[in-house]
Chains A and B, each alone.
Chain A
Amino acid sequence: MRKTPIAARTLVASVTALAVVPMLAACTENASSGEDGKKGGDARTLSVGSSADACELSATKAPAGTLSFDVTNTGSDVTEFYLLGADGLRIVGEVENIGPNLTKKLTVNAPEGDYFTACKPGMVGEGIRAPFTVTHSEQEQQVSASDQELIDQAQANYRAYVQDQSAQLLEKTKEFVQLYEGGKDDEARGLYPVAREHWERIETVAESFGDLDPKTDAREADVDFAAGEKWAGWHRIEKDLWPQGAKGYTALKPAERTTYGDDLLANVTELDKRIQATGPDALTYPIDAIANGSIGLLEEVANGKITGEEEAWSHTDLWDFQANVDGARVAYEGVQGLLEAKDPALAEELTAKFDALQAVLDQYRDGDGFVLYTALEPADTKKMTDAVNALSEPLSKLTAAVTS
């Protein structure tokens, strides 16, 4: 066995790989910057200024196609720039390591839809976010007429669902706050998980309002008390209604109850106002946002509900679990017609996995509701986790499949 030739081959292969991979990898046209000294020569070239406390874009809109963001760091700390999907999670593109005084370019192919831009000075946290819109343009792939019909229908249906759930959430929240402020604790406890179901079904939409979500749905563990943050919303009231598990807890006085109750109602009212808005303020639900919403709701299940962290005091996690699954399923069914045209095998698999997950959940029904989380054994949560994971894996392909 002579080793040299093999080793030499390895070497050559590696060098070639280093050199060729970038060539084979998806290349994209660098957007040309303004010619003839014209500033911002075209609408697809944007400039971003990232400082310690601001993220300034030359425009918050661009026509669909290959966009380029020239990101300049005007602060004194290293920064990053992200273009995120409508769910605020999916990374469409990012540039890292932008040192002070540097300009780096992000080039992305962005189809029509809603996005978020984010600068992250210091490379930590959520970043400084702002909505960004990519408008329709001729450069985009043409969608066939029949597809367009399906898309329009899916969007109309999903909007109707979200608005309906939001209206019901408002109605039940009013009722709940009335019971709670009036000291009718037992009835309030009964209504709590039922009212919250409507929130959980549209959680991904509700969470997209970064100002309302922390005030309404923050868990105690997520609040930074040291930094002076205040804890309010559903879970604050939950703790007051189920204080058994809390050591040394002082019950809220009637006046305090009124403060927290009214605050919750005010925020839910504001949420509903935004969801029901018409005209220029109306929310849009691009097809990838609907698909990503379905994926996001299932992630919510995996991250909070199965672990019993969401309802730490009332242990009504399974109501939330079911509601997340409802929302994920409705979002999926909205785009199912599109999916069946593009990837029938995936559609079949998703339908089967949704059914399987529902069958697992149904085993834990109790009267109109569910058993409490505290009644579950590790074997039960394992069963649920397995069913959720079995669904998450194919579901993660949904967005790519329906937008292809």
Chain B
Amino acid sequence: MLANLLIGLREGLEAALVVSILVAYLVKSERRELLPRIWAGVGIAVAVALAFGAALTFGPRGLTFEAQEAIGGTLSIVAVAFVTWMIFWMSTAARGLGAELRGQIDKAAEGGRWSLVVVAMLAVGREGLETALFLWAATQAGTRDTVGSVTPTWEPLVGAMLGILVAVALGYLIYRGAIRLNLTVFFTWTGAFLILVAGGVLAYGLHDLQEAGILPGLHNLAFDVSDAIPPSSWYGTLLKGVFNFSPATTWLEATAWVLYVVPVGALFLLRTRSTRPARPSRQLQEH
């Protein structure tokens, strides 16, 4: 039970975190009217993932291993781009808060509003296919015939669902906590946190592509701490779920992580440190 619960928790955590930070941000900045877009993005991702998972599980055609890894890897890298955009969009839009510039910021952020749907969608959909395949497999386990020691059981599905529920609950707690912070602190912390999350997603995506043989260097490990942090332990699960930390990390993953986190982190710190409110780039042409 616990093992399946931990898988559900791991798959659900990252999505729950990104979505809860987005929601907290919109609520804090009094843009509740944009919330439906987030839920739309989440809904689309869940529906698409479940539909494909079902088609691949029960249909006549399956995906080759390479294709599955290539989809996961590519979506991860796209997700990194969108989450990075989200970090900077939040910190830019934040400067107009409470000022009379709000209306203009909203206009400028109109493009951003649509991108919100995509961020939410990618956060959930990135691992959606893998999770959906896992859930359908768990469903099959409940309805299969008895062969030898293999008996039908609903335990895996219950475990996985509980894990996902725990992830959602944790996301909700983060949201409650974030709501209480003052704005400056909120942006600094959530931004820094999301940069670490995105760095992990990038490394994870590259690892998928290495496993599929699209990128080289799968067996050149930078470090391997599997003994100290077993991937199936609860803390291994949390580290993987939140930061996509892999106990056995290849050089390519480690290098990509550093090359992403350091410059983006530096840029982010520079921007949050400069307290000068940014002037909107375009003045309204209204007389």
| Minimum CB distance partner of B148 in chain A | A49
| Among A3, A26, A105, A108, contact of B111 (Cβ-Cβ < 8 Å) | A3
Q: Does A101 lie within 8 Å of B153, measured CB to CB?
A: yes
Q: Kindly identify, within residues 76 to 102 of chain A, every residue whose CB is under 8 Å from any CB belonging to chain B.
A: 76-78, 89-94, 96-102
Q: Does A30 lie within 8 Å of B6, measured CB to CB?
A: no
Q: Does B64 lie within 8 Å of A27, measured CB to CB?
A: yes
Of the listed stretches A119-127, A283-291, A342-350, A354-362, chain B binds A119-127
Given A18-B75, A74-B150, A99-B3, decide whether A28 and B64 contact each other with a Cβ distance below 8 A.
Answer: yes
Given A15-B121, A19-B48, A21-B71, decide whether A27 and B150 contact each other with a Cβ distance below 8 A.
Answer: no
- Rounded to whole Å, the gap between the CB of B3 and the closest CB of chain A is 5
CB-CB < 8 A to B155: which residues of A? 100-101
Decide yes or no whether B232 CB sits under 8 A from chain A: yes
The docked-state distance in angstroms from the alpha carbon of A4 to that of B138 is 41
Q: Does A97 lie within 8 Å of B7, measured CB to CB?
A: yes
| Among B117, B141, B220, contact of A101 (Cβ-Cβ < 8 Å) | B141
The count of chain B contact residues (Cβ–Cβ below 8 Å) is 69
Given A15-B44, A26-B63, A97-B134, decide whether A90 and B213 contact each other with a Cβ distance below 8 A.
Answer: yes
The 8 A CB mask of B125-165 against A (1 = contact, 0 = none) is 10001100110011011001001011001011001100000
The docked-state distance in angstroms from the alpha carbon of A92 to that of B108 is 48
Q: Does A99 lie within 8 Å of B110, measured CB to CB?
A: no
The 8 A CB mask of A100-143 against B (1 = contact, 0 = none) is 11111111110000000000001111000000000000000000
Decide yes or no whether B255 CB sits under 8 A from chain A: no
CB-CB < 8 A to B23: which residues of A? none
The docked-state distance in angstroms from the alpha carbon of A102 to that of B1 is 11
| Among B45, B114, B141, B218, contact of A18 (Cβ-Cβ < 8 Å) | B45
Q: Does B115 lie within 8 Å of A10, measured CB to CB?
A: yes
CB-CB < 8 A to B248: which residues of A? 124
The docked-state distance in angstroms from the alpha carbon of A15 to that of B59 is 22
Decide yes or no whether A367 CB sits under 8 A from chain B: no
Q: Does A102 lie within 8 Å of B138, measured CB to CB?
A: yes
- Rounded to whole Å, the gap between the CB of A102 and the closest CB of chain B is 5
The docked-state distance in angstroms from the alpha carbon of A131 to that of B117 is 48
The docked-state distance in angstroms from the alpha carbon of A10 to that of B227 is 44
The 8 A CB mask of B220-249 against A (1 = contact, 0 = none) is 100000110011100000000000000110
CB-CB < 8 A to B70: which residues of A? 25
Q: Does A99 lie within 8 Å of B160, measured CB to CB?
A: yes
Given A4-B111, A10-B115, A89-B219, decide whether A30 and B52 contact each other with a Cβ distance below 8 A.
Answer: no
Given A30-B62, A108-B65, A123-B231, decide whether A97 and B74 contact each other with a Cβ distance below 8 A.
Answer: no
Given A10-B114, A78-B232, decide whether A103 and B144 contact each other with a Cβ distance below 8 A.
Answer: yes
Q: Does A100 lie within 8 Å of B150, measured CB to CB?
A: no
Q: Does B110 lie within 8 Å of A3, measured CB to CB?
A: yes
Q: Does B65 lie within 8 Å of A93, measured CB to CB?
A: yes
Q: Does B63 lie within 8 Å of A22, measured CB to CB?
A: yes
The docked-state distance in angstroms from the alpha carbon of A17 to that of B220 is 32
Q: Does A101 lie within 8 Å of B156, measured CB to CB?
A: yes
The docked-state distance in angstroms from the alpha carbon of A10 to that of B122 is 13
Q: Does A100 lie within 8 Å of B213, measured CB to CB?
A: no
| Minimum CB distance partner of B1 in chain A | A100
Q: Does B7 lie within 8 Å of A299, measured CB to CB?
A: no
The docked-state distance in angstroms from the alpha carbon of A94 to that of B64 is 10
| Minimum CB distance partner of B37 in chain A | A11
The docked-state distance in angstroms from the alpha carbon of A26 to that of B65 is 9
- Rounded to whole Å, the gap between the CB of A46 and the closest CB of chain B is 13
The docked-state distance in angstroms from the alpha carbon of A302 to that of B133 is 38
| Minimum CB distance partner of A27 in chain B | B61
Decide yes or no whether A322 CB sits under 8 A from chain B: no
Q: Kindly identify, within residues 8 to 51 of chain A, every residue whose CB is under 8 Å from any CB belonging to chain B.
A: 8, 10-11, 14-15, 17-19, 21-22, 25-30, 39, 49
- Rounded to whole Å, the gap between the CB of B259 and the closest CB of chain A is 18
Q: Does A22 lie within 8 Å of B71, measured CB to CB?
A: yes
Decide yes or no whether A7 CB sits under 8 A from chain B: yes
- Rounded to whole Å, the gap between the CB of B120 and the closest CB of chain A is 11
- Rounded to whole Å, the gap between the CB of A239 and the closest CB of chain B is 24
The 8 A CB mask of B83-95 against A (1 = contact, 0 = none) is 0000000000000
CB-CB < 8 A to B48: which residues of A? 15, 18-19
CB-CB < 8 A to A208: which residues of B? none
The 8 A CB mask of B191-235 against A (1 = contact, 0 = none) is 000000000000000000001010010111000001100111000
Q: Does B75 lie within 8 Å of A122, measured CB to CB?
A: no
The docked-state distance in angstroms from the alpha carbon of A248 to that of B133 is 57
Q: Does B4 lie within 8 Å of A100, measured CB to CB?
A: yes
Q: Kindly identify, within residues 378 to 404 of chain A, every residue whose CB is under 8 Å from any CB belonging to chain B.
A: 392-393, 396
The docked-state distance in angstroms from the alpha carbon of A89 to that of B211 is 10
- Chain B interface (Cβ < 8 Å from any Cβ of A): 1, 3-4, 6-7, 11, 44-45, 48, 52, 56-57, 59-68, 70-71, 74-75, 78, 108, 110-115, 117-118, 121-122, 125, 129-130, 133-134, 137-138, 140-141, 144, 147, 149-150, 153, 155-156, 159-160, 211, 213, 216, 218-220, 226-227, 230-232, 247-248
Task: Show 7 A/B contacts (Cβ-Cβ < 8 Å), sorted by A.
Answer: A29-B62, A74-B149, A96-B130, A99-B4, A101-B141, A123-B232, A393-B216
- Chain A interface (Cβ < 8 Å from any Cβ of B): 3-4, 6-8, 10-11, 14-15, 17-19, 21-22, 25-30, 39, 49, 68, 72, 74, 76-78, 89-94, 96-109, 122-125, 299, 302-303, 392-393, 396
With A4-B111, A11-B118 known, 17 other A-B pairs at CB within 8 A are A22-B129, A25-B67, A25-B71, A27-B63, A28-B61, A28-B64, A30-B60, A30-B61, A78-B232, A101-B153, A103-B144, A104-B137, A105-B137, A108-B65, A124-B247, A125-B226, A303-B220
8 A-B pairs with the lowest CB-CB distances in the bound complex, closest first: A7-B114, A25-B67, A99-B4, A3-B111, A93-B65, A7-B111, A124-B226, A30-B62
